[in-house]
Amino acid sequence: MTNNHSHLVIMAGGVGSRFWPMSTEDTPKQFIDVLGMGRSLLQMTYDRFHDICPDSNVWIVTNKRYQQIVEKQLPEVDPSHILLEPCRRNTAPCIAYVSWRIKMTDPKANIVVSPSDHVITDTTEFKRVIKGALAFTQESDAIVTLGMKVTRPETGYGYIEADLSSNTLRNKEIYRVDTFHEKPDLEKAKQYMGMNNYYWNSGIFIWNVETIVNALRIYAPRVNNIFERLQDVLGTDKEQEAVDKSYIDCENISIDYAVMEKAEEIFVYPADFGWSDLGTWGSLLTQTKHDLNGNACIGQNIKVFDTHGCIIHTSQEKQVIIQGLSDYIVAEHDGCLLICRLSEEQRIKSFRNE
């Protein structure tokens, strides 16, 4: 059952062009059917919250240039709930803007904030965890972040160090956060993997609207004051003009730096529901079904011979035949073809610019 005070915020303003040639700055990865499921990552994010938050309580924050894409992909969302950033200023201004907007609509709001480009494979467990976290924040001033089970020494994620010595009384699966750790080098990542109280920082947050607004007032006043001053025009026909004028003055800072690393009532809900932020072609390979030779093929008619450990994404082609590749990316979209070693994918952007 949905709760009338449960709100979903999807952050969908990132550039997300790492999956070139499918994704570009004009059509970032959150708007692409990366997994070949017939739904974009944004749509799949919306889908997994279907019986948690009512459609009337769904909010999307995106860049102005992506407004039409969001409206086309999510016609169920009230157009007035698609908030448009005139420029990119990281996640703290994004969250401050939507939090004040929600506060003007529902002062009792209980909010989940989710990135738009993550993959969840066990949606049943995901919903159980989210509902548990919402129940926890509904009647407290706690800020909860989801910590993902560490399965490999990953250097691309931040980490959360939890205090497992005592759990909270109202939910025995939720613990206090000791420390947030930046993305580590490989040696540190190996150390973290061997410790049972370290988790990947998922970037999924749960809090009630009063809690986050008060936290922003205390720990990020420069950002908060901009939107608190705008509260009289939020939800009116003057909102966009006012936001356009003020947004550029926002500090470019993440919610992690602005609030999470400073606030006291910060908790982590350790979880394991097959999470990935799909930051690389390699991460897509790990999240996709493989054949017996470890190849992940996304497309209509792909045949491989003597080929191992490849990610092949050619959904626009009628037929693709590949022979003799190992650990490669093969991707085609709108007339652009990429063939690159997985180990060299960080150089794709430089290859394009040469």
Domains of the chain by residue range: 6-276, 281-353
90 vs 145: CA distance, rounded Å:
18
Q: What is the pLDDT of residue 279?
A: 80
Average pLDDT for 61-82? 97
| Position 334 pLDDT exceeds 90 | no
pLDDT digits (tens, 9 = 90+) for 285-302: 888 889 999 999 998 889
Average pLDDT for 92-111? 97
Instruction: Give the chain's radius of gyration (CA, Å).
Output: 21
Sign for the CA dihedral angle at 20, 22, 28, 34 comes to negative
Band of pLDDT at residue 1, cut at 50, 70 and 90: very low
Average pLDDT for 307-328? 94
- Percent of the chain surpassing pLDDT 70: 98
pLDDT digits (tens, 9 = 90+) for 340-351: 999 998 888 777
Q: What is the pLDDT of residue 335?
A: 86
pLDDT digits (tens, 9 = 90+) for 148-204: 999 999 888 999 999 999 888 889 999 999 999 999 999 999 999 999 999 999 999
196 vs 301: CA distance, rounded Å:
43
Asked: is 6-276 a CATH 3.90.550.10 domain? The reply is yes
- Helix pair angle (123-138, 41-48), 10° resolution: 60
Residue 196: both structure tokens together: 């049972």
Residue 36: both structure tokens together: 């070949």
Band of pLDDT at residue 352, cut at 50, 70 and 90: confident
- Helix pair angle (209-219, 221-228), 10° resolution: 120
Average pLDDT for 87-108? 96
Q: How many CB atoms lie within 10 A of CB 25?
A: 11
Q: What is the pLDDT of residue 354?
A: 61
